[in-house]
Structure 1
Amino acid sequence: MARNDSSIQQPARRLGTPRNVQPERLTRPANIYFVWSTVLVAWLLSLLPWRVWEGAPDILVLVLAFWCVNEPRRMGLVAAFCFGVLMDVHDVTVLGAHALSYTLVAYGAVALHRRLRHFDLLSQAIHMLPVFFLAQLAQQLVLAWLAGRWSGWAWVLSVLLMTVIWPLLGWVLHLPQGGADDVESSSV
């Protein structure tokens, strides 16, 4: 009898569901002020001169993509386009190059958001790798076409670094939301 009681208390595991897929995980919507403050902080960090290195990860596009996955009704293509234009103006590059890349990443994140919310952060990073790569490739192709020469493949390091940073960034941005959930679950 005690054996049945313990099996009732533990959640039932679905057959054939991998460990990284968590269909029962539901999160509360993030505070709108928190979402926009993180985007603004990422934008301010993107204005610093460390971005001159071609392999530097684009923190702003990471934060925009994260919120497009987790809060697609609050962050989307228009915000990504506007921040892309702001980065084009700041970097004094072809107007629309960053805007194209940011919009493609936001579109990929919004298109995949239902699937990605069921995966852990590492699996999300693996899913976002082709999105980051194709968006950056489109930007590099446009810049190469306008300049008349290919700038090389150094930008792939930036894409790989963004993929590696995704789980850490997701963990940091989930902390303010999940802190109360962790306390409630440990007190039961």
Structure 2
Amino acid sequence: MSRTRNAWVLPTSVVLALLLSLVPLPPMVQALRPYWLALVLAYWVIEEPERVGLGFVFIMGLIADISFGGLLGEQALRLVVMAFILQRFRARLRFFPLSQQALAIGGLLLNDRIVASAIHFAVGEPMLPWTYWWAPLIGLLLWPPLFVLLDGLRLGRRS
């Protein structure tokens, strides 16, 4: 099976994750928006570590920072912290059932909120409202279908 057969899936999924993060939502639902870029990059760090490492994740974080107009380097730092933890435990995570993987990803997304809060506190930015703490739960619920979708696209049809 050729590994480069579906090489388009990685850049397409990252661009779609960025676009989904930029779609305007009503204020009531905005806080529940999952961190699409983190979910997609988590998949690629777990499944294709030779293609998606800390450098790639950092660059995608900087692109996200520029796209969203936030504090430059905030998302880059948050994503690198997540990717580092994923790389450290990748061998174990790959063999977890999908439900346990979802719990681990939910924990990483919760850790991401803690890192974001620490960054906001350190630079004097206003703290995120309490409703933003629900987004990791949404990410946890989205992990299994997202994993299955990306895995199917990456692997393609098996003969």
Same fold flag (TM > 0.5): yes
CA contact (8 A) 1:76 1:106 kept: yes
TM-score (norm 2): 0.84
Is 1:96 equivalent to 2:96 in the alignment?
no
Residues 83-162 of structure 1 correspond to what in structure 2 (within 5 A)? 83-147=60-124, 149-162=126-139
Distance 1:150 1:70, change over 3 A: same
Check conservation: 1:32, 1:74, Cα contact below 8 A.
no
Instruction: Confirm or deny: 8 A CA contact 1:144 1:151 kept in the other structure.
Output: no
Give the structure 2 partner of residue 15 of structure 1.
none
1:36 aligns with 2:21: no
1:55 to 28, 32, 40: 32
| Partner AA of 1:146 in structure 2 | V
TM-score by length of 1: 0.72
Structure 2 CA distance for aligned equivalents of residues 68 and 93 of structure 1 = 24
**1:71 pairs with 2:48:** yes
Flag the structure with larger Rg.
Answer: 1
Identity %: 27
One-letter amino acid of the counterpart of residue 37, structure 1: T
Structure 1 spans left out of the alignment, 5+ residues: 1-26
Q: CA deviation at 1:48?
A: 2.1
The answer to which structure, 1 or 2, has the higher relative contact order (CA under 8 A, 6+ apart) is: 2
CA RMSD of aligned residues (A): 2.4
- 8 Å contact from structure 1 (residues 29, 71) kept in 2: no
Q: Is the 8 A contact 2:46 2:90 kept in 1?
A: yes
Secondary structure of 2:25's counterpart equals: helix
